[in-house]
Amino acid sequence: MKKCDYCAKEITYFEQYCCEECERKTLQYHLRNERFSKLFYVINTICVFGIPVGLFIASFSSAVGIPIAAGSCLVLGLMLILLPFPTESMIRKHKLQKAIKISRIFGGCVIGLGVLIVGLVFVLKR
């Protein structure tokens, strides 16, 4: 059986979505993706490079490097929660609804990494 492109419920071969709500949510996702994808990629690139650069700078001066790394983690995590744009292969494998959920969970983990970095600095300074 074929599966719905949004929620992965089984449908007939002649349909693409199981209901109108799934079709509407998919359309909303693609419109949001068109609208914010450039912003997403710019912020994503800055933050992904900001984390290791901040940690590298922290080896010389923790007062400068740790806020850069933690801030990059926080911004990247919030962006992944607010604008979850999974990759096409992830959408193909898990369908859209689950891929968005996985992206948001990953965003929460990135925020947790930022909190862990700040926590380790405070523990190691004592």
Contact 47, 76 (CB under 8 A): yes
Query: Would 5 be classed as within a structural domain?
Result: no
Query: Would 10 be classed as within a structural domain?
Result: no
Q: How far apart are CA 14 and CA 97, in angstroms?
A: 21
pLDDT at 101: 97
Residue corresponding to tokens 């509407």 = 24
SS3 2: strand
For the segment 56-89, what is each residue's pLDDT rounded down to a tens digit? 998 888 788 889 999 999 999 999 999 999 999 9
Query: Would 11 be classed as within a structural domain?
Result: no
For range 95-119, the mean pLDDT: 94
pLDDT at 35: 96
Write the secondary structure of 6-71 as one string of H (helix), E (strand) and C (coil): CCCCEECCCCCCCCHHHHHHHHHHHHHHHHHHHHHHHHHHHHHHHHHHHHHHHCCCHHHHHHHHHH
Query: Would 15 be classed as within a structural domain?
Result: no
Which tokens belong to 12?
A: 């007939």
Q: How far apart are CA 12 and CA 57, in angstroms?
A: 56
pLDDT at 64: 86
Structural domain range at position 81 = 21-125
For residue 3, the 8-state DSSP code is E
The Cα-based distances of 102 to 42, 84, 86, 105 in angstroms read 21, 9, 8, 5
Query: Would 121 be classed as within a structural domain?
Result: yes
pLDDT at 82: 94
Residue 30: phi and psi, rounded to 5, are -70, -35
Task: Report the domain count for the chain.
Answer: 1
For the segment 1-59, what is each residue's pLDDT rounded down to a tens digit? 789 999 999 998 889 999 999 999 999 999 999 999 999 999 999 999 999 999 899 88
Query: Would 4 be classed as within a structural domain?
Result: no
Query: Would 13 be classed as within a structural domain?
Result: no
